[in-house]
Chains A and B, each alone.
Chain A
Amino acid sequence: MTAVLDFTMGESAAALRGRLRRMVAEFFPDDFLGAFTDDPADLALTQRFSRLLADEGLLTVAWPREFGGSDGSVWEQTVVREEMWAYHEPRGPQYMGLNWVGPAIMAYGTAEQKAEHLPRIATGETIWCQGFSEPGSGSDLASLQTRAVRTGDHWEITGQKIWTSYAGMADWCVLAARTGDKDSGRRGISLFLIPMDRPGITVRPLRAMLGPHHLNECFFDSVVATDAEVLGEVGTGWSVMKTALAHERVGIARYARCERLLWLLRDVLRHEWDDLDEGVRNEWSGALVQVRVARLLAYRAVERQEGNEMVDLEASQARIASTTCDQQVAEVVSQLLGPRSLLGAAAGAPAHGAFEDHWRYAQAATVASGTIEIQREIVSRELLGRQAVR
């Protein structure tokens, strides 16, 4: 199936969408806004839903059968991504494992690592987190200082990670640590697959604008790791991370929720819509076009990722489009709904608070998993060539 300039992706995709929507509607209450709320029942529901998806062969639809997948196409996977994100990610914290940890283990893992981890991701049993950012290494990720020191026949890892999504509930972590010397930059980084219950790991939740149960700080104090837990070769962590981040950047189908919210906005406005002046309605249409541009750019990046081509440019371009359309839609909503768009769910907000939730998340969209400045930097390297960062 080709995706070029095709918003619907044909009949089979439509059938899949319908099936997923029915499953979500049956499983989740109307006011579900994601797994990371103050009510632990929300998280539990997403865990059960992930297992149901796995039973139906939809959790890892595009993975090969030998790893627990359904041998489906990447476009089926795209439909799943879109529908899941549009309905507030009912897979909860599964996204990291499905979207890139699994594929990275497939590409770089040993036979033992594949056998241990892939089936459990495919059944929705394990939650993964990603230990990349550090307090001193955000945009300048390659300067990370968490150290993995060779001690006898194993490694001892010490350092601090921050902004770690799901760390408090995760079973496993892909941890980036420096195995080279202090100034080894991107050549001295290795990745480790570490169980989160290993001695020496402390997780502290970070209360944030995104809600109380999303982000964390992780402290690693002489945490032991074996050679068998290194993903890829020692010292090649950076290139795995780059691939991972390119997947992460197109992995969230933000445009899908944007599209849903724009139509929801029309439903909420009902008769008021007809009284809006043309300028305001044009803003709405402009946002809808931008949402669809973001979708097509994401398809282009996915297509090239499938062909195993270098996709830094496409991934970053798609990421810029999808994060800025998140913000554009938030703006249009606030223009059309006024202060109602900022009402919390408890105060009788329209759409159970989905608009307010979207506005808050959209603010972080151009910061998380690589700031928009870094995305621009990546695109500029292709356009202008690599120059000293300034």
Chain B
Amino acid sequence: MTGERSSFRQVVRQVLADSWPPLAEYASGVLPPNAERLRKVSDELGWWELEDEDGGFAFASIAIQELGGALGPGELLQGLCVNPVIAGSADPRRVACSWGDSGPGGFSGEVSWCLAPGDDVERVLVFAEQTGEPVAALVRSQGAGARLEPMTGSDPTRRFWRLVMDGVPPGEPEILARGDEAALLMSEVEQRVSVGLALDSLGIARSALALTVAYAKIREQFGAPIGSFQAVKHRCVDMFVLVETADVLVEAAVTALASGAPLGPSGVASIAMAKAASCDAAAEVTRLALQTHGGIGYTWEHPCHLLLRRAKLNQALGRNPRSLRRAVAGRLVADALTGGQETTPLRGERK
């Protein structure tokens, strides 16, 4: 499958070259760039149904990572990564969900940081408590007592939404699952969000590293390329190590998810490790990329600050690195005590 995956990566890159602005020209247009063409092409090529095949996520993951590196549209991140696990009567391509860490709420208040597979959102996936048990439901985004508002923040490369619920009638939300099933769907979405952020961030970090290495070779100060000074040279190596560290952990998480089997505790732990490591790595690598570029890195037309903004938001979205690492620590200690046998499930994993 390795060969097939690397050919698929080439296809994805070709599609991006044809249908998406290159990083060097990215910020000269309106942000985020219009994703219509890329959505259409990716649909025609069957990317939105990749997971109908065995091991499909192994391929989808390549597209998600490459899209991250190209500062691709939030629509595809949502559509390729999370929507495959959302069922229901609504067209899953019109369902948005939160990438924040809001946990279960109710059918009033706000669900922030929603990504949508397109502009034509019909429903938002909401996890709530109802009569003492968890439910997963679809709330109409412009139905009675609900509205969808755009959210603006530091990252202009993706469009986020906030569902504001103010008196949704009790019978209105379409209940997808209750009880254990709802909890299961919630953890499944949480895993998908973690892996999606990890893949997106890995792509970002790789792009930032590539830009930095190229710049360190050509930018001259004191009569020599800045990459020849240890302060810069060693930093490039630190960035490379961060990227590779994230890469192996992300690959392990993708393997766990792509097997299609229910995730055991070690699978859940590998996703937690991947999210924490990759999002932290990308935030740091992009920060160092900007530092190495100097002033040019924060001029608007340069992609450096956009990579940094997106990486920083990815780090803050989903479960935070601290709580992920605490869960991982719990898992590793449990493994050590039981000689590596998988035992009790961790919070939010399949039983």
Residues of A within 8 A of B (CB): 133, 136-140, 143, 162-163, 206-210, 215, 277, 279-280, 334-335, 338-339, 341-344, 346-347, 349, 356, 359-360, 363-364, 366-368, 371-373, 376, 389-390
Contact = CB atoms under 8 A, between A and B. Distances in A.
Interface string B283-325: 0000100110011011111000100110011011100101000
Given A133-B295, A334-B316, A359 B231 contact: no
A208 B298 contact: yes
Q: Which of A137, A206, A363, A372 has the most CB of B within 10 A?
A: A363
Contacts of A390: 228-230
Given A209-B300, A279-B322, A338-B101, A367 B153 contact: no
B295 A163 contact: yes
B113 A366 contact: no
Given A208-B300, A343-B151, A363 B308 contact: yes
Nearest to B228: A390
A364 B308 CA distance: 12
Contacts of B231: 373, 376
B152 A344 contact: yes
A356 B153 contact: yes
Nearest to A277: B322
A360 B300 CA distance: 12
Given A139-B294, A366-B291, A209 B305 contact: yes
A389 B317 CA distance: 42
Contacts of B301: 207
Q: Which of A162, A209, A372, A389 has the most CB of B within 10 A?
A: A209
Contacts of B297: 367
A162 B295 contact: yes
A344 B298 contact: no
Given A339-B113, A339-B316, A363-B308, 16 more contacts: A137-B221, A139-B221, A140-B221, A143-B221, A162-B295, A206-B300, A207-B301, A338-B101, A342-B309, A343-B154, A344-B154, A356-B153, A359-B154, A360-B154, A366-B291, A390-B228
Contacts of B101: 338
B20 to A, nearest CB: 22
B3 to A, nearest CB: 39
B316 A341 contact: yes
A363 B230 CA distance: 22
B155 interface: yes
Contacts of B221: 137-140, 143
A33 to B, nearest CB: 14
Contacts of A366: 291
Nearest to A389: B222
Given A207-B300, A339-B113, A359-B312, A367 B294 contact: yes
Contacts of B228: 390
